[in-house]
């Protein structure tokens, strides 16, 4: 059992210029499986992920880990909806987080080559990362996040605007990471993907957690009428 | 028009015959400017990166002042450096007045704000792109700065070249602090000013063409070394 979890958010609020963006959120995440955050546009999915990750400022409430926050930050990664590529080669992008964590260059290079093979980018190691296709960039972003062997990865709609093939490849990597013990917290608009990946589901509405349940229960018998309407495809506000 | 042609032909012969005085002056121009450029870049680039990633109260004011200082009048800089380095000034004991070192100091003061401002613009754009990623990777402030400086190196080269262009063409400040002393502090720009004053327009023009050629050659060489157009697309 990992020492990072449980992650406990109590009355967590993030606001900007007096306007509450997300919260108050009460949420507990243990160290197993994949948690999928769903909700309509503007519900606050991205902000919630950023808040839990520590990239958005906590205005009120608390977010605690089973270990010191700094240690928790070191053991997690974030994958953005639009992958951010360092203006370097694919290999250098993979090496970067390892070097930032103090790994010797030769060791980092070996690991980078290994990960490039795992995500099917071994032929592109010397290519500049910013010129890769959208799907390749997202695979690289995912490999770059997973290469440090994090205990937790936040993924903000990692398959948005990708075609079916690229989505399948990304999901295969996510499955592998999850089965290797990495906790995934992923936001998505794609209900099919949510059903395929989720062990637990967090339904977010107007910046608040409306429902949190195991996926089998959530997709068959949601507790709230808003969640049921959302699953039916109705417009929920 | 006759002076122009005469100047071009004088420039041609000065270069072709490798005129000893021209070579000495041109090399001194290069030496002073390149040293000033290296020192100024070493100050300005980290300063620009720090202004990009650090948030502090007077940050906007510092950036505004830096931008304003891009138009620093060289003559005033020369005058201030002169006062500071003159025998009765606070640094008079160092005996630097009318030496190439004094010229380097003046040039550094003139080009640091220029390089820092241009570099800051480039780094700010890159920081907007990298911000979330580097925050999520939990990297240190030093790592953020070194990442920005490395990944924006081609844009920063342009900033430094702008500083080089300003420094090599500078005349007001270095005339005051260098004194335009033959075989000691005479550089191309001060020599041009001297020849113009003497009425030898052809020689002044000749030196001017040499100065332009020198600036172009150095710019091309730095671009070539920096592989700006070959790998600069990303």
Lowest-confidence region among A108-117, B14-23, B180-189:
B14-23
- Check residue B12 and give its pLDDT: 82
Q: Which CATH architecture has domain A7-85+132-232?
A: 3-Layer(aba) Sandwich (3.40)
pLDDT tens-digit map of B126-167: 999 999 999 999 899 999 999 999 999 989 999 999 999 999
What is the Cα–Cα distance from B160 to B137, expressed in whole angstroms? 30
Q: Is residue A158 packed enough to be buried (19+ CB in 10 Å), middle (13-18) or exposed (0-12)?
A: buried
Q: What is the mean pLDDT of residues A42-59?
A: 92
Strand order in the sheet with A183-187: A76-79, A152-156, A183-187, A34-38, A200-205, A208-214
E-state strands within A7-138: 7-16, 19-29, 34-38, 60-64, 76-79
Residue of B nearest to A79 (CA): B133
B151/A contact by beta carbon, under 8 A: yes
What is the Cα–Cα distance from A32 to A179, expressed in whole angstroms? 9
What is the Cα–Cα distance from A138 to A82, expressed in whole angstroms? 8
What is the Cα–Cα distance from B223 to B234, expressed in whole angstroms? 16
Task: Please count the residue pairs, one from chain A and one from chain B, whose beta carbons lie less than 8 angstroms apart.
Answer: 39
* Domain spanning B2-225: CATH 1.10.3720.10: yes
CB contact under 8 A, B139 and A100: yes
**Closest by Cβ to A87, choosing from B135, B137, B234:** B234
**Shortest CA gap A51–chain B (Å):** 11
For residue A29, which of A207, A216, A200 has the smallest C-alpha distance? A200
Query: Is residue B168 within a helix (H) or strand (E), and if so which, with residue range?
Result: helix B153-168
CB–CB of A50/A39 below 8 Å? no
CB contact under 8 A, A80 and B132: yes
**Closest by Cβ to B129, choosing from A73, A74, A84:** A84
User: Is the model's pLDDT at B105 over the cut of 80?
Assistant: yes
**Shortest CA gap B77–chain A (Å):** 38
Query: Is residue A152 within a helix (H) or strand (E), and if so which, with residue range?
Result: strand A152-156
The contact set of A with B (CB < 8 A) is: 53, 55, 73-74, 77-78, 80, 84, 86-88, 96-97, 100, 128-131
Q: What is the mean pLDDT of residues B96-124?
A: 96
User: Is the model's pLDDT at B200 over the cut of 90?
Assistant: no
- Check residue B230 and give its pLDDT: 56
B128/A contact by beta carbon, under 8 A: no
- Check residue B204 and give its pLDDT: 85
Query: Is residue B163 within a helix (H) or strand (E), and if so which, with residue range?
Result: helix B153-168
CB contact under 8 A, A80 and B147: no
User: Is the model's pLDDT at A1 over the cut of 80?
Assistant: no
Best B136, B143, B151, B232 member to test A by mutation, with max A CBs in 10 Å, is B136
Burial of B152-191, coded b for 16+ CB within 10 Å and e otherwise, reads bbbbbbbbbbbbbbbbbebbbbbbbbbbbeeeebbbbbbb
Domain spans, chain A: 7-85+132-232
User: Whole-number mean pLDDT of chain B?
Assistant: 90
Q: Which chain A residues have a beta carbon less than 8 Å from that of B151?
A: 86-88
What is the Cα–Cα distance from A25 to A58, expressed in whole angstroms? 11
**Shortest CA gap A101–chain B (Å):** 8
pLDDT tens-digit map of A153-193: 999 999 887 888 888 988 999 999 999 889 999 999 999 99
pLDDT tens-digit map of B213-232: 989 998 888 878 776 555 54
* pTM recorded for the entire structure: 0.86
CB contact under 8 A, A86 and B138: no
Query: ∠ CA B54-A93-B53 to the nearest 5 degrees?
Result: 5
Q: Which chain A residues have a beta carbon less than 8 Å from that of B233?
A: 128, 131
Q: Which chain B residues have a beta carbon less than 8 Å from that of A130?
A: 234
User: Whole-number mean pLDDT of chain A?
Assistant: 91
For residue B118, which of B75, B73, B152 has the smallest C-alpha distance? B152
CB–CB of A52/A9 below 8 Å? yes
CB contact under 8 A, A128 and B136: no
CB contact under 8 A, A130 and B147: no
Domain spans, chain B: 2-225
What is the Cα–Cα distance from B24 to A64, expressed in whole angstroms? 69
**Shortest CA gap B219–chain A (Å):** 24
What is the Cα–Cα distance from B113 to A83, expressed in whole angstroms? 34
CB–CB of B138/B41 below 8 Å? no
**Closest by Cβ to B136, choosing from A77, A128, A130:** A77
Query: ∠ CA A106-A109-A114 to the nearest 5 degrees?
Result: 130
- Check residue A85 and give its pLDDT: 95
Q: Which chain B residues have a beta carbon less than 8 Å from that of A146?
A: none
Residue of B nearest to A92 (CA): B151
Q: What is the mean pLDDT of residues B190-204?
A: 88
**Shortest CA gap A195–chain B (Å):** 27
Best B138, B141, B156 member to test A by mutation, with max A CBs in 10 Å, is B138
């Amino acid at each position: 059992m990992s020492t990072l979890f449980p992650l406990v958010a109590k009355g967590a609020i993030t606001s900007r210029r007096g306007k509450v963006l997300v919260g108050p959120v009460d949420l507990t995440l243990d160290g197993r499986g994949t948690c999928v955050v769903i909700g309509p546009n503007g519900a606050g999915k991205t902000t919630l992920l950023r808040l839990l990750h520590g990239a958005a400022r906590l205005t009120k409430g608390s977010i605690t880990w089973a270990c010191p926050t700094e240690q928790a930050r070191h053991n997690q990664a974030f994958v953005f909806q639009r992958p951010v590529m360092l203006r370097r080669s694919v290999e250098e992008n993979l090496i970067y987080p390892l070097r930032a964590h103090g790994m010797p260059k030769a060791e980092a290079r070996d690991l980078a080559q290994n990960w490039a093979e795992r995500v099917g980018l071994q032929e592109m190691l010397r290519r500049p990362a910013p010129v890769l296709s959208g799907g390749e960039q997202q695979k690289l972003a995912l490999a770059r996040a997973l290469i440090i062997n994090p205990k937790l990865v936040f993924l903000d709609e990692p398959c948005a605007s990708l075609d079916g093939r690229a989505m399948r490849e990304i999901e295969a990597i996510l499955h592998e990471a999850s089965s290797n013990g990495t906790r995934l917290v992923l936001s998505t608009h794609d209900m099919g993907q949510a059903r395929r990946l989720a062990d637990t589901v967090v339904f977010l509405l107007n910046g608040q957690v409306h429902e949190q349940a195991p996926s089998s229960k959530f997709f068959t018998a949601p507790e709230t009428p808003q969640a049921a309407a959302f699953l039916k495809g109705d417009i929920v506000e | 028009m006759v002076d122009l042609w005469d100047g071009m032909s004088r420039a041609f012969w000065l270069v072709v015959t490798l005129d000893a005085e021209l070579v000495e002056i041109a090399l001194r121009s290069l030496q002073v400017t390149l040293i000033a450029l290296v020192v100024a870049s070493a100050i300005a680039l980290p300063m620009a990166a720090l202004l990009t990633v650090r948030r502090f109260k007077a940050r906007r004011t510092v950036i505004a002042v830096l931008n304003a200082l891009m138009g620093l009048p060289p003559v005033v800089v020369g005058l201030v450096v002169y006062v500071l380095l003159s025998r009765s000034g606070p640094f008079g004991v160092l005996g630097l007045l009318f030496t190439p070192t004094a010229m380097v100091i003046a040039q550094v003061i003139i080009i640091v704000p220029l390089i820092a401002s241009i570099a800051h613009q480039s780094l700010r754009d890159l920081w907007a792109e990298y911000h979330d990623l580097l925050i999520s990777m939990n990297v240190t402030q030093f790592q953020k700065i070194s990442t920005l400086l490395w990944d924006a190196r081609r844009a920063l080269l342009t900033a430094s070249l702008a500083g080089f262009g300003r420094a090599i063409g500078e005349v007001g400040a270095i005339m005051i602090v260098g004194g335009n002393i033959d075989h000691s502090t005479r550089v191309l720009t001060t020599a041009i000013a001297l020849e113009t004053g003497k009425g030898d327009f052809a020689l002044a023009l000749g030196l001017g063409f040499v100065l332009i050629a020198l600036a172009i050659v150095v710019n091309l060489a730095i671009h070539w070394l920096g592989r700006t157009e070959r790998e600069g697309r990303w």
